[in-house]
Amino acid sequence: MAEVIVKKNINLPAVRGSKGLTTVHMAALLGHRDMVLFLCSVTRVEDLTKEDFIGLLVATIGSDLYGFKVVHDKKLLDMQSLELVKRLWGQILLLDDAQIGNILKSPSRPLFVAAELGNFEFVFELLHSYPDLIWKVDEQSRSIFHIAVINRQEKIFTLIYDIGAHKDLITDYQDSNNTNMLHLAGKLAPLNRLNIVSGAALQMQWELLWFKEVEKNVQPSYKEMRDMEGRTPRMLFTEEHKGLVKAGERSMKDTASSCMFVAALITTVMFAVIFTVPGGNNNIGIPNFLLAKTFMLFAISDAFSLFSSVTAILMFLTILTSRYAEKDFLESLPKRLIIGLTTLFFSIASELVAFSAIN
DSSP-assigned letters across all residues of 97-133: HHHHHHHTTSTT-HHHHHHHHT-HHHHHHHHHH-GGG
Which residues contact residue 298 at a Cβ distance below 8 angstroms, ignoring those fewer than 6 apart? 278, 354, 357, 358
**Higher per-residue pLDDT: 269 or 75:** 269
**Higher per-residue pLDDT: 301 or 289:** 301
The domains of the chain, with CATH numbers, are 1-109 (no CATH), 137-240 (1.25.40), 252-358 (no CATH)
pLDDT score of 198 more than 80:
yes
pLDDT score of 247 more than 80:
yes
Average pLDDT over residues 122-144: 82
pLDDT score of 80 more than 50:
no
% of the chain exceeding 70 in pLDDT: 81
**Higher per-residue pLDDT: 167 or 65:** 167
pLDDT of residue 182: 93
Residue 79 binned pLDDT confidence (cut-offs 50, 70, 90):
very low
**Higher per-residue pLDDT: 18 or 269:** 269
% of the chain exceeding 90 in pLDDT: 35
Q: What is the pTM of this model?
A: 0.67
pLDDT score of 206 more than 90:
yes
Which residues is 75 bridged to in the sheet? 72
Residue 359 binned pLDDT confidence (cut-offs 50, 70, 90):
low
Residue 298 binned pLDDT confidence (cut-offs 50, 70, 90):
confident
Q: How many helices (H) and strands (E) does the chain have?
A: 18, 2
- Of the candidates 248, 245, 252, 247, the residue with the CA atom closest to the CA atom of residue 336: 252
pLDDT of residue 289: 60
Residue 241 binned pLDDT confidence (cut-offs 50, 70, 90):
very high
Residue 355 binned pLDDT confidence (cut-offs 50, 70, 90):
confident
Q: Cβ(79)–Cβ(125) under 8 Å?
A: no
**Which of 78-82, 141-145, 339-343 has the weakest average pLDDT?**
78-82
The one-letter code for the residue type at 33 is: R
Cα Rg of the chain, angstroms: 31
Instruction: Calculate the CA dihedral of residues 206, 212, 217, 223 and round it to 10 degrees.
Output: 130
Residue 33 binned pLDDT confidence (cut-offs 50, 70, 90):
confident
pLDDT score of 77 more than 60:
no
Whole-number average pLDDT of the chain: 81
